[in-house]
Structure 1
Amino acid sequence: MPLHPALLKTLNLLTYIGAVSTIVYNRKFITEELAQRPNYLSNSPVGYIIPAINWFLLGGFTLVQWLDFAHDVVVEAMDWNLFVSNILIASWVLSWVHDWLVVGQILLVINAVLIWRLYVKMRVFTATNLLDYAFVHVSFSLYTGLVWLDVFQNFFAAFTNKDGGPDSWAAI
């Protein structure tokens, strides 16, 4: 296997672990922060179950990507998009920890465009088996929708007042 695909797959795996670790490590903070900014999804079981299923499927993808049937999708369609997306997601979580919600919004928009491009390029490839369908096609279809939902929710969190504090524009 040439260096490029092996390096790409390894970095996909490592950055996935980094993104999930960042989310898990800061879960208590994220839960408390979302409680201060209530909406229809953030404090419901659906708001936790669907992203958890998606991260499970993406974790399965990081293992399935090493199989022969996924090679073309990873190298030609995903290229470096997933690697960069995982870094952006970890950075977005850290921007929330530091209360840089506008920066987080910018990171999310960049990530959403990146994942959307990945999804469009990936649709050219058809699923060849159940693993390919579940861990490659379904996981990124779900991920694309969730990232755009995060953009929408983060927009309102970033640009509305928090009880007792300044709005985002005054904080900048």
Structure 2
Amino acid sequence: MSSRYDIFLKTSNLLSYILVLGVNSYFKAIEERPGDDGSDFKGNSTHGNGTHGAVPLTHILPATYTFGIWGLIYALLGGFVIYQWFNSADVATVEGVKFYLILANLGNIVWIVLWRMDYYMLDVFVAACVLLALMFAYNNLEQYPPKSIYDRLFIHYPFTIYPAWLIVATTLNFWVAFQALDTVFFSTIIVAVFGLIGLSFVDYCKRKDVVFAGTLAWSLIGIAVRQYESLSILIAAAVSAGLIIGGILRVMVHEIITWWHLRTQTERTERSPLLPTQN
């Protein structure tokens, strides 16, 4: 039986999710009502990310379709706030995710509002706090490995894809706030750093997290597609994405081989005849 704290936590998760979804929907509705000149409600040209409105052009801005990952993130979080009420998700929700989703949702709302008000420098701090809260949840969930496909889909995946994507989104925020960094040189370096982070999660992290790394690869492909005119950024993004995808394939092949060996060993054990009894 759930305690009052458990019920309060899960209810807060649900309400904060509904709130952040409502705020996003409101600003999305405003964004989709451009003026006669093709500008958004603030007069900015719409380079939008599909969620937070117009995004100023920078050297690390991914292709527009890349931001569609927000839809996947919110869909998975929607699954989580429903699945959390099942007994099988109780421990991971209360002891793993804790109150970090509530902090992330409230921070997301502040992030959206500050972005709309062009307070980019303050927005970077808020985005970093949201990322930090999600990384705490991500690290905590390592102690609660998935026991079913539902655990994987509705507990682990949302708290893996979300922080991985926010690494890129927060850096993009930083590039917008501090325009002195928005050069080909610094942008090439940070794109390479994205690649190293993704590669470390799939090759050197204990969890061999192909989902986290794959999210970063998705972002890097988007950067390569949009920044194709800048040769150094294109090369850095393409090579980084390729290395990550290569690491993901290595992990998948290793898991398949391990599974096959276990299966064949089990079959041999089951089929082997009993040894004759010696007198």
**Aligning the two structures, in what range does the TM-score lie when normalised by the shorter sequence?**
0.7 to 0.9
2:66 pairs with one of 46, 59, 80: 46
Q: Counterpart of 1:16 in structure 2: which amino acid? A: Y
1:146 aligned partner: 165
1:60 aligned partner: 79
TM-score, L = length of structure 1: 0.85
Offset, 1:40:
3.6
**Structure 1, residues 82-112: CA drift from partner, whole Å, max 9, x if none?**
1111000011000011111111110111111
1:126 aligned partner: 145
2:129 pairs with one of 91, 97, 110: 110
Offset, 1:37:
2.6
TM-score, L = length of structure 2: 0.54
1:170 aligned partner: none
Extract unaligned runs of 5+ from structure 2.
32-39, 41-45, 181-279
User: Percent identity between the aligned chains?
Assistant: 22
Whose relative contact order is higher, 1 or 2, with alpha carbons under 8 Å and at least 6 apart? 1
1:136 aligned partner: 155
Offset, 1:120:
0.4
Given that 2:61 and 2:172 are in contact with CA atoms closer than 8 Å, whether structure 1 keeps it comes out as no
Measured in 2, the distance between the counterparts of 1:40 and 1:106 equals: 19
Q: Within 5 Å, give how 1:17-36 maps onto structure 2.
A: 17-27=18-28, 28=31, 31=48, 33-34=54-55, 36=56
Offset, 1:58:
0.8
Q: Counterpart of 1:90 in structure 2: which amino acid? A: I
Measured in 1, the distance between the counterparts of 2:61 and 2:124 equals: 19
1:5 aligned partner: 6
1:82 aligned partner: 101
**Structure 1, residues 42-86: CA drift from partner, whole Å, max 9, x if none?**
x521222x2211110111001001001110011111111111110
Moved >3 Å (runs of 4+): none
Higher-Rg member (1/2) = 2
Measured in 2, the distance between the counterparts of 1:83 and 1:108 equals: 14
Q: Counterpart of 1:94 in structure 2: which amino acid? A: V
Extract unaligned runs of 5+ from structure 1.
162-172
Q: How many positions carry a matched residue from both structures?
A: 158
Measured in 2, the distance between the counterparts of 1:82 and 1:100 equals: 24
1:15 aligned partner: 16
Measured in 2, the distance between the counterparts of 1:108 and 1:126 equals: 27
Q: Secondary structure at the match of 1:123?
A: helix
